[in-house]
Amino acid sequence: MATKIVLVTGGQRSGKSRYAQELALRLAPNPIYVATSRIWDDDFRERVERHKADRGAMWTNIEEEKLLGKLAVAGRVVVVDCVTLWATNFFFDLGSSIDEALALLKEELGRFTEQPATFIFITNEIGMGGHAENAIQRKFTDLQGWLNQHIAALADEVVLMVAGIPVRVK
Most confident range (mean pLDDT) of 26-40, 41-55, 118-132 is 26-40
- Residue 137 sits at the vertex; the CA angle it makes with 84 and 90, to the nearest 5 degrees, is 45
Q: What is the rounded distance in angstroms from the CA atom of residue 147 to the CA atom of residue 109?
A: 10
CA torsion 122→124→125→127, rounded to 10°? -150
Q: Give the active site residue among 51, 52, 106, 111.
A: 51
pLDDT at residue 158 is higher than 80:
yes
List the beta bridge partners of residue 122. Answer: 8, 81
What is the share, in percent, of the chain residues with pLDDT greater than 90? 76
Name which of 80, 62, 77 is nearest 30 in CA terms.
77
Q: Which residues contact 169 (CB under 8 A, 6 or more apart)?
A: 152, 158, 159, 160
pLDDT of residue 47: 74
Query: Average model confidence (pLDDT) for the chain?
Result: 92
- For residue 11, pLDDT beyond 90: no
Kindly list the structural domains of the chain, giving each domain's residue range(s) and its CATH number in brackets, ordered by start.
Answer: 4-168 (3.40.50.300)
Strand order in the sheet with 118-122: 60-63, 32-35, 77-81, 118-122, 4-10, 157-162, 165-168
pLDDT recorded at residue 55: 75
Q: What pLDDT score does 42 carry?
A: 79
Under 8 Å between Cβ of 115 and 122: no
Q: In whole angstroms, give the CA distance from residue 170 to residue 163.
A: 19
Q: What is the mean pLDDT of residues 96-100?
A: 96
143 closest CA partner among 74, 95, 111, 80: 95
Q: What is the pLDDT of residues 19-31, one digit of tens each?
A: 999 999 999 999 9
Q: What is the pLDDT of residues 107-152, one digit of tens each?
A: 999 999 999 999 999 999 987 766 768 888 999 999 999 999 999 9
pLDDT at 129: 66
| Entry pTM | 0.93
Q: What is the pLDDT of residue 1?
A: 80
pLDDT over threshold 90, residue 51 = no
Identity at 57, one-letter amino acid code = A
State yes or no: is 51 an active-site residue. Answer: yes
